Amino acid sequence: MGEREPFPPAKLILGVLYAPEYPPETFRPVLAEAFGPIDFWSDAIPFTFTDYYTGEMGSGLSRCFVSFQDLICPSRLWEYKILSNRAEERFPSPGGRGVNLDPGVLTLHSLILATTKNHSHRIPLSDGIYGEITLLYRKGAFHDLPWTYPDYRTEGYKTILSEIRTILCSQLKHSP
């Protein structure tokens, strides 16, 4: 029989999709207040992969990635999804929300995103929140899965996530 051990600490990340009326300086303080000190903020990436969000958020959307200094227990991902949903309410748009926060946990082996949408490849976490392994890390790179979103398949996203993974490796190396 296997022995239970605590989960290895993980890096909390947010994929932040935002409308032009909410540039990063408007939501950065809210993210730091809700999730703690920020240790990585990517450049803006034009979001041209789908028009799924256009009705709600308008056009000209961008995405950036943010990670946070404090490592977390990955089993708490569902809590961060609930926190992110609350934070989104602070940025309304005529169609709904002007900022979309997609929390995930980055581990040495994968990127797991949180979602409220059930599907065959998603695992129930708690309180109506599911987890989805979106990318696997092996042989020095991130790899897609059949359900990986088109934007997360891009080398640009994978490069950013690799930079965040490097921060995680350093933190784990220097932690007690």
pLDDT tens digit sequence for 13-61? 999 999 999 999 999 999 999 999 999 999 999 999 899 999 999 999 9
What is the C-alpha separation between 80 and 103, in angstroms, rounded? 7
Find residue 38's DSSP bridge partners. Answer: 68
The 10 Å Cβ neighbour count of residue 75 is 14
The model's pTM:
0.95
pLDDT of residue 175: 78
Q: Are 132 and 147 in contact (CB under 8 A)?
A: yes
3-state secondary structure of 83: helix
What 8-state DSSP symbol labels residue 62? E
Q: For 64-109, how does the pLDDT look when each residue is reduced to its tens digit (9 = 90+)?
A: 999 999 999 999 999 999 999 999 999 999 999 999 999 999 999 9
Q: Which long-range contacts (CB under 8 A, 24 or more apart) does 81-86 make?
A: 81/114, 81/115, 81/116, 81/129, 82/127, 82/129, 83/34, 83/35, 84/14, 84/34, 84/114, 85/116, 86/34
Is residue 176 predicted with pLDDT exceeding 80? no
